[in-house]
Amino acid sequence: MKGARKTFSSGRKGLPVVLERRPYNAETPMDTIATSDITANRSFYVRNHFSIPKVDPSRWRLKVSGDVERPLRLSLPSIMRMRTKTVVTTMECAGNGRSKMNPRPPGTPWLTGALGTASWTGVPLKQVLAKAGVKDSAVEVLFRGADSGFIGGRITRFERSLPVDEAMDENVTLAFRMNGRPLPMSHGYPVRLNVPGWYGMASVKWLDEVSLISEPFEGRFQSSSYVYSKRDGTPSIPVTRMRVKSLITTPSEEAKVKCRSPVSVSGLAWSGYGKVERVEVKFSDSRWRRAKLVGQDLGRFCWRRWLCRWIPDKPGRYTISSRAVDDTGGSQPEAEVFDELGYGYNTVTRISVRAV
């Protein structure tokens, strides 16, 4: 696997690590994650299900349809003229970390870099829904991307839904800017949804239709994929918010560190359920120690950097473990967790280093 990665990676700093060419899927490079709290647009991981659709922005309209009083067709300029909101958001692919599961599940073999943080500027969806007038019969909001392809011999679009009350959250936006720039093609130009706190699949790209529906949506990307499934007949559970998780960025996996010298151990922690309250770190079989939360607090939808100092007292191999706790009390499970489809991996984070 490491060899395959090397082949695909351009080797140039800050460029994504390409996992698949068709559809294009690429991770944020680890050195970017280790050093930047905001991920530059060109470094930000890309998760596509199909090829990138061609959208002509002058002809593009966002259709608002279904159980509404006034169906709408909004041009890009008319959306950009509305009241906007910027939300700095950490986004993680639900399959991030899948490569660490044993046995490895099917799907794009994400390591740890299907993860990034950007500022997304757009119009709160609730503003648009208020304009359209949501009927009482509506139970969910269905989001349709312009991207589609063959699955099982049928043309399938990328479609996802949210319950009406989740969709009405002030922070759910129709985003058209990323880090102050127009949304890049690979991130859903001209408009994508941004659902802070949820795994990335909820933030539908190349959005062209928002439809109010009176029955829960059961489409491909909500029933066959993006579900925690036991495959034993018990009902599957939809993948929604990002589970609390941490990442060790420094030292890197398999790094050599100096004995009897202080080593800076640092990383990031985030959760889609609540604010990260603390991060604990363990060195091989030591007791859990509390790390320091450092850097600016970019708000409740963002990762937070943490740091602790460690002095390895004798040469040899060490396992560094980290676990984050959010303010809903959630934490990372100690035992390796397997999921049939490889979602929601958040087992206690562990890397191996060698002290010399």
Neighbours of 66 (CB within 10 A): 20
Nearer to its own copies, 297 or 336 (CB): 297
User: At its nearest, how many Å lie between its own copies and the CB of residue 146?
Assistant: 23
Q: How far is the CB of 81 from its own copies (least distance, A)?
A: 8
* Contacting positions for its own copies (CB under 8 A): 14, 32, 35-43, 80, 83-88, 118-119, 121, 171, 177, 179-182, 264, 266, 294-299, 305, 307
Whose Cβ is closer to its own copies: residue 220's or residue 278's? 278
Q: What 8-state DSSP symbol labels residue 251?
A: S
Given the complex with its own copies, which of 264 and 284 has the nearer CB atom? 264
Q: In degrees rounded to 5, what are phi and psi of residue 209?
A: -150, 135
Structure-token pair, residue 51: 């090829």
> Of the two residues 149 and 299, which places its CB atom closer to its own copies in the complex?
299
The nearest distance, CB 38 to its own copies, in angstroms, is 4
* Residue whose C-alpha is closest to residue 108's, from 46, 52, 154: 46
Token pair, residue 166, equals 């989740």
62 Cα distance to chain centroid: 24
44 vs 206, beta carbon nearer its own copies:
44
- The tokens for 299 are 């708000």
Among 180, 140, 190, 181, which residue's Cα sits nearest to residue 163? 140
- Report the residue number, 41 or 223, with the smaller CB distance to its own copies: 41
Instruction: State the nearest-atom distance from the C-beta of 96 to its own copies, in Å.
Output: 19
* Residue 102 burial (CB count, 10 A): 8
Q: Is the dihedral angle over the CA atoms 33, 37, 40, 45 positive or is it negative?
A: positive
Query: Shortest Cβ distance from residue 314 to its own copies (Å)?
Result: 24
Report the C-alpha gap between 267 and 248 in whole angstroms. Answer: 4
What is the rounded CA–CA span in Å between residue 23 and residue 140?
29
Point out which residues pair with 132 in neighbouring strands: none
CB of 293 to its own copies, least distance (A): 11
